[in-house]
Chain A
C-alpha cells in the first residue's frame, strides 16, 4: 500500500479529509479488504493510545500557581519590567484623597527622593535597590535640586516648596490613622476578630508593603468603599485594577475575617502579636501592633534645616 494512501487513511480516521476524497476512500474500503484492515489497525492503535487516561492536577497545583504569579509580579515590579495594563503601583494625580493615600504609601517613598535638602522627613525610609548609572544620574539631579532649593529657601524662607505635597500627605495619613477608631485582637489561627464589620461583608484585602517601609499593613475595602475609590478622580483606574489584581477576597463570618496565608506571612510574622484594626473613613487597615506602635512613634515631621553658614 503506498504511503500517500496510508497517510490519507489516517486523515480519514481523523476526519481531516475533504468530502470528495473521503467519499473516494470510503468506496475504496468497501471493495478492498486490505484497506479495511489498514483502517481497522489505525483505529485500534488510537484506541490503545486512549487507554492512557487523563491525570488531574494535584491539590497543591492552584496554590503553587498563585504563588508563582505573585512572586513573578513582585519580581517584575521591583525590576520595573512588568507588562500589564499600566504599572502595578498606583499613579495618583494631584488630587489627594485619604482613600487614595492608603494605596499610595509605597509611591510616596519613591516621590520623596525628590525632597529637597532643606526639608527632610523625621522617619527613615528605604531606597530602591541598585540601579546602576541611573543612580548616579539621580544623584547628580538631586545635587542640582539641592542647590536650587537652598537658594529658594534662603531667599524665600516663608514659602512652601512644591515637593512638600507628598510629605504633607504622609502627615495627613498619620493623623488620620492616629485618630481613626480602632480595636485590637490577636490572630486566632488564621482569623482576626472583626466584630464591628457586619457579618457577610465582603472585603478586598491588599498588602501595603515596602521593604523597610513604615506603613506596612493590610488594607481592606468593602465593595462600596472600593466603588468610591474607583470613582475618585485622583485614581488612575488602570493602575488601581492592576493593584487589585494582587488582592485577596475575604468575607466577614461570625465576627471574624480570615487573613490569607500570604498576607499573614508578610504582615503578621509574629502570630502572638496583637493585631490593630483601624476603621478609617474610607477603608479598614490591619496592622501588627508593634508595627503600628512604631509607625505612631515615628511621627512624620517637616523640619526646616537652615543652610550651613560656613562657620
Chain B
C-alpha cells in the first residue's frame, strides 16, 4: 500500500485515483475532527469537502518533507478559521438549553443524530455531558484536544499543525482536560464521577 506522500506525488503527477485513495483514507478522520468542533454533521461534511477541495487545487504545494496529516489538518485548521470568520455574526455559544433552528436543544439534537444508524453517538446522559464539555472548551484548547484525542496525533505533530510550540500543546492539553473534568463533574453532580462511570466503576 502506498504511503500518503507517494499518493500525493502520484496525484500531483496527474493520477486522479491517488486523490480518491487519499480521500478514502482521511475522510472519516477529518469529518470527525469537524464534527467535534461543530456537532453538526452537514456542516462537518461541508468543511471536510472544503479541505479536500483545497488539497485538490493546491496539490503542487505539498512538500513530502512535511507529514501528510500535518499538511492536511493545517488546511483543516485554515478552513475552520475561515468558517469562524464567515459565521462570526450569526454564531452563538450553544448550551444544552439553547435551541437550534428546528427548535431542538443541543441535547435533543444530539439524541436525534444518535438515531441516525450511521452515527455511533450515544444518547445517554454521560455522552451528552461530554459533548457539552467539549463544546464549552475555548477554541484553541478544543483544537489541541480534538487533534490529540480524535486524530491520535502526538504533541509534536499537533504543534506543527497548529503552528505552536510543543510546550504550548502540552499546556493546552492539560488545561483542556482539566476544564473537561470540571465540566463533567458539574454536569454529573451526584454521580461518583462521569469518567469513573465511563470506566465501568460507577454503581
Contacts and interface: CB of A to CB of B under 8 A. Distances in A.
Q: Is the pairing of A and B real? A: yes
Contacts of B78: none
B145 to A, nearest CB: 8
B49 A61 contact: yes
A51 B149 CA distance: 11
Nearest to B176: A10
A47 B199 contact: yes
B118 interface: yes
A48 interface: yes
- B interface, over-half SS: helix
B155 A43 contact: no
Given A68-B53, A84-B60, A244-B14, A49 B196 contact: no
Interface string A45-57: 1111111111111
A55 B178 contact: no
Query: For this complex, into which size category does the number of interface residues on chain B fall?
Result: 35 or more
A44 interface: yes
Contacts of B56: 69, 72
A42 interface: yes
B112 interface: no
Interface residues of A, number: 44
B61 to A, nearest CB: 8
B31 to A, nearest CB: 6
B75 interface: no
Given A57-B48, A85-B13, A241-B14, 15 more contacts: A16-B170, A41-B181, A44-B193, A44-B201, A48-B130, A49-B130, A51-B126, A52-B36, A55-B32, A58-B118, A72-B53, A72-B56, A72-B57, A83-B60, A84-B60
8 contacts: A44-B196, A45-B195, A52-B131, A53-B119, A58-B41, A65-B49, A69-B53, A242-B14
Interface of A: 3, 6-7, 10-11, 14, 16, 40-58, 61-62, 64-65, 68-69, 72-73, 76, 82-85, 238, 241-242, 244-245
Interface of B: 12-14, 16, 23, 27-28, 31-32, 35-36, 41, 44-45, 48-49, 52-53, 56-60, 118-122, 126-127, 130-131, 134, 148-149, 154-155, 170-171, 173-174, 177-178, 180-181, 184, 193-199, 201
